[in-house]
Amino acid sequence: MIKYYTLLGSICNCARSIHFIFLAFILNLYSQSGPLEYYNQVISPSQIDGIDYDLSGVTFNRTNNKLLMIKDDDGIIWESTTDMEITRLLSGADFGDEEDIVYLGNNEYAIVTEEGRLYIGLIHENDIIIQPDSFQEIIFDLHDDNDGAEGVAYDSLNQKFYVVKEKNPMKFGTFDRPSSNNDISIEMMIPFDAESQFYGLVDDLSSITFDYRTNRVLILSDDSQKVLDVDPLNGNIWGVMDVDGMEKGEGLTFINDNYDLLIVGEPNYYTLYSSSLNLNESYSNMSIILSQNYPNPFNPSTTLQYDLPHDEFVTITIYNMLGNIINNLVHENQKSGYKSIEWNATNNQGQPVSAGVYLYSIEAGDFRQTKKMILLK
């Protein structure tokens, strides 16, 4: 009998220890400071006029300030203003069971399907029909019955995709954008075990978006009605936000330089969260990030992308290898946030330049950085 009680006491002590460890883990989540704690709901869940049902994903085009929203398993994409006024209907996006869409820059988008496929292609402002055959197919194999890939995010500065799998088990994966435009199968990197990392916090993963302020990702859970602020390198959680009144949140995206957070969900609802965070003060110690141009090598044009942590006077200049100025591409005051500009391989007089190696340089405040690019003819 004494042995029995001793064993029982040991089990109870072990259970208490595990319980306290779990509580300490939960409390530790809130000891780290992230942007989510500054967000407040400014528009409660509301219906979107012009969308009937099965709204599955959303993305924001920073160039034209328009949203694209995708319908689950029907090949339909809606374009709207940030006030949720539908401005265009696109059909033909029949890639399978479409779950999410993300803007890549320069009129390029990526669509993820539950079957573990990513499709990359151009959607121009006047298109009304999508041509799936013109899209690149990337097979990344993250599928298990009806619990496959649910969301996709893109870090355009580092040309990296992030994908989440819904559940059974929850998974988080990442891969670099292929340098080739050919259809390709790739093996994703799994940096951490999402099932164990998110245990006790959320029951599923339904969407993801990249936060350029922190180089982290926000992950949405529709079953648990929460948003997690997650470090994609190790799964560390920097914050948790409740999504009030949104029972089936399926997609999320930032919609402006203020990083307002838009969440959409089935059948046709949206809600908006706005931040009281002063980006210029809170992120003033962040460095400007200049990405490698894409594509590179290129012909006839390429896109330069950079991220400003605060307002600056920005100069971007194209040089040849002799140090001669070819094109003064940017010379103006700019607001903080993600920026993208296209160079069409012309000089300041609008004349085409010859093939070769060129330099592009950014100057903003005390910051200066230069990178190489190759023009083919």
**Distance in angstroms between the alpha carbons of the first and the last residue of the chain:** 88
Task: Report the CATH number at residue 371.
Answer: 2.60.40.4070
Looking at the fold, whether 168 and 309 belong to one and the same domain comes out as: no
Out of 277, 301, 320, a domain closes at 277
Q: Which residues pair with 5 in a beta bridge?
A: none
Cβ neighbors of 64 (< 8 A, separation 6 or more) are 125
Residues 329, 240 within the same domain? no
Give the pLDDT of residue 286. Answer: 55
The stretches in the chain having pLDDT less than 50 are 1-32, 280-285
Same domain, 156 and 38: yes
> What residues contact 347, with CB distance under 8 A and at least 6 apart?
326, 327, 353
The answer to whether the CB of 125 falls within 8 A of the CB of 90 is: no
293 and 269 in a common domain: no
CA–CA dist 323, 349 (Å, integer): 18
pLDDT tens string 77-124: 999 999 999 999 999 888 999 999 999 988 899 999 999 999 999 999
| Structural domain count, the chain | 2
- Does 42 map to a domain? yes
Distance CA 149, CA 368 (A): 40
Give the tens place of pLDDT for each residue, 287-315: 677 888 888 899 999 989 888 877 889 99
Q: Rounded to the nearest 5 degrees, what angle is found at the Cα of 55, between the Cα atoms of 53 and 56?
A: 145
- Please compute, for residue 94, the number of CA atoms within 13 A of its CA located in the half-sphere on the CB side: 4
Amino acid at 204: D
Q: Pairing between strand 77-80 and 66-71? A: antiparallel
Is the domain of 238 the same as that of 124?
yes
pLDDT at 30: 39
Q: Tell me the C-alpha distance between 50 and 345, whole Å.
A: 41
User: Do 45 and 187 fall into the same domain?
Assistant: yes
- Coil vs helix vs strand at 77: strand
Enclosing domain of residue 312: 289-375
Helix (H, G, I), strand (E, B) or coil at 161: strand
**Six token digits for residue 190:** 């799994």
In a domain? residue 173: yes
- Residue 175 C-alpha from the chain's centroid: 13
User: Do 86 and 234 reside in the same domain of the chain?
Assistant: yes
Residues 164 and 213 grouped into a single domain: yes
> Cβ–Cβ contacts within 10 Å for residue 343, how many?
22
Task: Give the residue from 208, 242, 277 where a domain finishes.
Answer: 277
Q: How far is CA 362 from CA 198, 330, 335, 371, in A?
A: 40, 9, 15, 9
CA–CA separation, 118 vs 122, rounded Å?
14
d(CA 162, CA 151): 8
Beta bridge partners of 36: none
Residue 45: asked if its preceding bond is cis (omega within 30°), the reply is no
User: What does the block give as tokens for 91?
Assistant: 């059909």
**How many degrees, rounded to 5, is the angle at CA 282 between CA 276 and CA 285?**
160
Looking at the fold, whether 167 and 232 belong to one and the same domain comes out as yes
Report the alpha-carbon distance of residue 144 to residue 293 in Å, rounded: 36
pLDDT at 27: 37
Name the token pair of 130: 């999508």
Stated length of the chain = 377
pLDDT score at 148: 83
Dihedral, 260, 264, 268, 270 alpha carbons, nearest 10: -30
Find tokens 């990526």 and name the residue: 110
Q: Round to whole Å and give the CA distance between 143 and 73.
A: 15
153 vs 355: CA distance, rounded Å: 34
**89: its two tokens:** 């209907």
Largest CA distance in the chain: 95
| Residue 139 belongs to domain with CATH number | 2.120.10.30
Which of 214, 245, 277 is a domain's end point?
277
The verdict on 239 and 319 lying in the same domain is: no
* Beta pairing partners, 332: 314
